[in-house]
Amino acid sequence: MPASVWIPLSFHPGYVAAAGAAAAKNPIILGNISMAKKPTSPDKTKAAAKPAKPTAPAKKPAAAAPSPAPVIPAAPTQETLPLEPAPVEVVATETPVEAVVPAAPEVVAAIAEPVPAEPETAAVVVEPVAAEPEAVTAVVETVPVEPEAAVVEPEAAEIVAEPVPAAPPLIDPEPEGEPAEPQSTHVEEPLPDQEPVEVHLEEPEVHHHHRPSLFIVQIAPEMAPVAKVGGLADVVFGLTRELAIRGNHVEIILPKYSGMRYDHIYDLKEVYKDLWVPWYDGAIHCTVYFGFVYDRKCFFIEPHSNDNFFNRGSIYGFKDDVLRYAFFSRAAIEFLWKSGKHPDIIHCHDWQTALVPVFLYEFYQRLGMTHPRVCLTIHNFQHQGVTGAELLKATGLHDPARFFDYNRLRDNQHPNALNLLKGGIVYSNFVTTVSPRYAYETKDQGQGFGLEPTLHTHHLKYGGVVNGIDYDVWNPEVDRHIPAQYGVDTIERKYDDKRALRHRLMLADNAKPIVAFIGRLDPQKGLDLVRHAIFYSLQRDAQFVLLGSSPYQGINEDFWNLKRMLNESPDCHLEIGFDEELSHLIYAGADMILVPSRFEPCGLTQLIALRYGTVPVVRSVGGLADTVFDKDYSHRALHERNGYVFENYDGTGLESALGRAISCYYEYPDHFRELMKNGMRSDNSWNHPGRDYLNIYDYIREK
């Protein structure tokens, strides 16, 4: 008899689809522009002064080391926009240009950016993959629909599940209106001791104070602030704190990098001196350390071998990265087993730890580690950990025929390669990505970088949860990096930060808006549109500030050349590099933040900008579409509209959104001020994501 199950899920509204009859038909896979020169500043001097232009009264000195605390000079002109309600009659396009500004090119192609081709991949014929007895899998589909109703948190109920006979394999149906992909000739081999279970999805009320405390272990390659490369580090740090606040016991396992920020680790000590991790035909000796990163409980694994896996000065960027993180994944699960830890949930992040569920199923369940359930969060599908057969020899996965299978680790595009991220999707109990829109794009719009067939096969356990930001770190009311703290009711103080930003970067102190870009100078971020926006902003009588650097030498050189070309403008400053204090000051002092990404899984930049009352101008992709709602064209309530959005990746789309933002700043300052306040009132903390992840954890534990 099919089991009737109450499943507590309250993902992003509109993104949870009832299973109903669909579950009965599908076997459930378990386990599974003004160029006048800048005025000189008493705080800075040029190393080599340039000859003054005839039309410009003064030169801009070269940037010296920034002073620790910005000094706010008396403003030559009192700025009243947009915080003064009276509109100012200024037509930006008619403003005379004091000197010649390089015109924005008609075709936006200043910086060549390769766009990954969208491969045509075959759909997968699937039979049920192994699970433990009496397991149930969620039926969750993501649909790109903006929710308008508040999330209702359901109550968990007891699960009574009866196994039913295995159904014949079915092809996952294609979405209506899209051509079906050719069927693969590879049929998935069922893993032992698993039977599909029919699921009936219902949503009873839930009272979270009745939720039992969970033991959760996060296994990640990085975590802020001790080892940070990108947004993944911030997510691990923020989510861990939220889960602990909700009454759970949370621990984190990280590699012990030689270049970590040890000044942020307290009471670091050895706790496990003799951890031997199987590797090739022998084992590598490791030491495990324990310490606190603020209130986060962290274990750090240090291998002692000639490979020096994590003693290299940087986190990523080595030819053997796949082997380095395969070893870390094996070491993490080996440590849990040897130390007698039995977590309820193991939460892994990205391809670097995607082998954890593979090792758990293939090695450790037979040793008695049957309790943990695994959730894998994919932060960016562009990076997947594709490698060769050497991985099998190193990790002890000695059956090539088993793992070079299209329904396990075999890469969808390269038949002689293994894909770590794909293995994580297949073997995990649930897979999330960092926004509902990105989940839809990766599965149905060709943004999965070859993993679209795998996501279709495992769509019943795949969904999106929008990231949050840490409100302890990003809070303009208490931010120690800015000279003037402010809140939604004291937003006029934001002008003090704006004047401080201009003083630090030696921009002209005037009534112009400041447009800013903060982030990696990476092709994903839409760098040709960033360059276009610099010239367009100057032509529209706005100032532009950029803070960022690139791992690619050619891109860095391009922006250094652009910096030299615009160095004399009093309305533009490009800072090539990264400065934590300056980033806070830009978020507080800018009027608009630009995020024109080609694709964006979630994005933290726009969330921080909203927190600081800085209006985002974004492209409607991924998490940007889930968090920024256009002032003029969104169907949401007026109080939920918080920015400007464009669809097409071209200069016309960018100019439409950025132009509307600049016009609103000048012509309707009261409307612009309301946009600022709408952003500050929105809740982009870890409160909602933390609740959603706990619902996922509850579901996979009870299935």
Output the CA–CA distances (angstroms, integers) from residue 77 to 81, 83, 99, 499, 509, in the order listed. Answer: 12, 15, 21, 11, 7
Report whether the peptide linkage leading into residue 82 is cis, meaning its omega lies within 30 degrees of zero: yes
Average pLDDT over residues 18-40: 42
| Position 260 confidence tier, pLDDT thresholds 50, 70, 90 | very high
Average pLDDT over residues 401-407: 95
Q: 691 near 502, Cβ under 8 Å?
A: no
Number of neighbours of residue 557 by Cβ within 10 angstroms = 12
228 is in an annotated binding site: yes
pLDDT of residue 211: 80
pLDDT of residue 703: 77
Report whether the peptide linkage leading into residue 303 is cis, meaning its omega lies within 30 degrees of zero: no
Cα angle 376-451-357, degrees, rounded to a multiple of 5: 30
The 8-class DSSP code of residue 621 comes to: S
Average pLDDT over residues 311-334: 95
Range in 203-212, 223-232, 379-388 with the lowest mean pLDDT = 203-212
Q: What share of the chain is helix, strand, coil (3-state, %, to 5)?
A: 30, 15, 50
Domains annotated for the chain, with CATH where assigned, are 216-428 (3.40.50.2000), 471-481+491-685 (3.40.50.2000)
The total number of residues shown for the chain amounts to 703
pLDDT of residue 230: 86
**CA distance linking residue 554 with residue 558, whole number of Å:** 6
Per-residue pLDDT tens digits for 647-693? 999 999 999 999 999 999 999 999 999 999 999 999 999 999 999 99
Residue 114 has pLDDT above 70, yes or no: no
Q: 43 near 67, Cβ under 8 Å?
A: yes
**CA distance linking residue 393 with residue 115, whole number of Å:** 34
Average pLDDT over residues 76-105: 41
pLDDT of residue 39: 53
**Mean pLDDT for all residues in the chain:** 80
**What's the token pair of residue 691?**
């609740």
**CA distance linking residue 378 with residue 412, whole number of Å:** 17
Q: 223 near 233, Cβ under 8 Å?
A: yes
| Position 489 confidence tier, pLDDT thresholds 50, 70, 90 | very high
Per-residue pLDDT tens digits for 536-591? 999 999 999 999 999 899 999 999 999 999 978 999 999 999 899 999 999 999 99
Task: For residue 158, count CB atoms less than 10 angstroms from its CB and return exposed for 0-12, middle for 13-18, buried for 19 or more.
Answer: exposed
| Position 333 confidence tier, pLDDT thresholds 50, 70, 90 | very high
**What's the token pair of residue 455?**
């996501």
pLDDT of residue 551: 84
* DSSP string computed for 649-662: SSHHHHHHHHHHHH
